[in-house]
Amino acid sequence: MRILRSIQHKYCADGSYMKEYELSEPVTAEFFRYLGNFGKVTSMPGMGEGFYSFERKDWFSIKGFAGDSTVEVRFHAKSMDLTSDFLFFLFSSFKKDGVDMETLKRREANLSERVRVHLYGKQG
């Protein structure tokens, strides 16, 4: 699955930066379960059948309906420059026949340290 393009984008009142992305194929419930390896996934049936939300604190959140080929992503404005490439990597790494989780987790760990230092100024 790939992100094809940004359909719309805007700064939000809460300080985040929202982008709606068009995808090469519809997202699935399996995709949101996969995202659970990197943050918190919530199924939100009150918003409609198949609505999911993913959040990675200080990075970004992803919201969307299983079966749709668009998602809404809200970036933490101060870390967006660091985390946007990882977002694209998450989407492109999701394969129905398996995922190289070791590579993803290694990239996530390296980026996590960079984001923490960037936001909070502490190393180690």
pLDDT for the residue numbered 99: 82
**HEC readout, the chain:** CCEEEEEEEEECCCCCEEEEEEECCCCCHHHHHHHCCCCEEEECHHHCCCEEEEEECCCEEEEEECCCCEEEEEECCCCHHHHHHHHHHHHHHCCCCCCCHHHHHHHHHHHHHHHHHHHHCCCC
> What mean pLDDT is reported for the chain?
91
What mean pLDDT is predicted for residues 6-18? 90
pLDDT digits (tens, 9 = 90+) for 85-110: 999 999 999 987 778 889 999 999 99
Whether pLDDT at 124 is above 60: no
